[in-house]
Amino acid sequence: MSTPKNLFVESHLYTTVDSSGNKNVEVEESLAILDGQASKLIAKIVNAARELKTPNLTQDDKTAWWEYFYIQWCRVPDVGEQIASEVVYEELVNQHLRELVGKKELNRITNNAWVESKLNPGKEVHPILMKKGLGVVVAQDLQINFIVGSHPMVKFAHPGRAHLANPSVEIWFPLASDVAVSPFAGETEKLVLVDDKTVRSINESISKQSTVIAGCSRELVSSFASLDTQTSIQG
């Protein structure tokens, strides 16, 4: 078991390095600002949900939230399938490849392109999310709570209908042990009350796709942790 404070921390994950070895922390700093803005929105959503109310996000709130939502999905190293294509990433790689000298340089350029792509919400994705409603998922008075993972969002889609624009696509994102969110068809906000079975299904998916998981009790984390997964107890 590890401590929550250190569990999801990786130093200089979003730092780029130029050909002289100089580090640029601009992306790290921009993401820190975005995280600060998002923390206020998360508190607003969670507090309202615990009173069985919707958060009534303003248009500015909604714009900031869906930007954070997208970047939070694609920024984590554990991400396998992206919400959108890797076009931004590939374009940046090709742009920098002209500078390429040797394998070490290729690794540096590839990593820089991955970092730089984290701050670009994409031409397709953000407009699609802005047309979505916000489903606030409440798991109150249940025998099980949500876990969190290093790959924190779970995408559910039917075969052949996985594009984010499809109204049947769900992306579940736990914000607290008893509250999660998901975009849904329409532009309104709605509360969704779920049962133990649904929460367990989401937890199982998070556990399978994450290398690190955390939860509010030792029993909860242990029930989903595999031998090769780091775990944490979060009070």
Q: Any idea which of 30-44, 95-109, 213-227 has the lowest mean pLDDT?
A: 95-109
From the number of C-beta atoms within 10 Å of its C-beta (0-12, 13-18, 19+), residue 33 rates as: exposed
Mean pLDDT of 177-206: 92
Q: How confident is the model at residue 157 (pLDDT cuts 50, 70, 90)?
A: confident
What's at 1, amino acid-wise?
M
Mean pLDDT of 8-13: 48
Q: How confident is the model at residue 160 (pLDDT cuts 50, 70, 90)?
A: confident
pTM: 0.70
Find, among 94, 82, 80, 170, the residue nearest to 121 by Cα.
82
CA 129 – CA 127 distance, rounded (Å): 5
Mean pLDDT of 90-111: 61
CA 220 – CA 206 distance, rounded (Å): 13
The beta-strand segments (E) located in 79-132 are none
Question: Between residues 12 and 186, which one has the greater pLDDT?
Answer: 186
Please determine, for residue 204, whether its predicted confidence score (pLDDT) is greater than 80. Answer: yes
Q: Any idea which of 4-8, 70-74, 131-135 has the lowest mean pLDDT?
A: 4-8
CA 222 – CA 214 distance, rounded (Å): 10
pLDDT digits (tens, 9 = 90+) for 55-71: 999 999 999 999 889 88
From the number of C-beta atoms within 10 Å of its C-beta (0-12, 13-18, 19+), residue 192 rates as: middle
CA distances for 213 relative to 114, 147, 152, 225, angstroms: 24, 7, 9, 7
Token representation of residue 38: 């998002």
Residue count (the chain)? 235
Question: Between residues 35 and 17, which one has the greater pLDDT?
Answer: 35
Q: Any idea which of 4-8, 205-209, 222-226 has the lowest mean pLDDT?
A: 4-8
Is-contact 209 173, C-beta < 8 A? no
CA 183 – CA 80 distance, rounded (Å): 20
Is-contact 134 180, C-beta < 8 A? no
Token representation of residue 61: 């709130």
From the number of C-beta atoms within 10 Å of its C-beta (0-12, 13-18, 19+), residue 208 rates as: middle
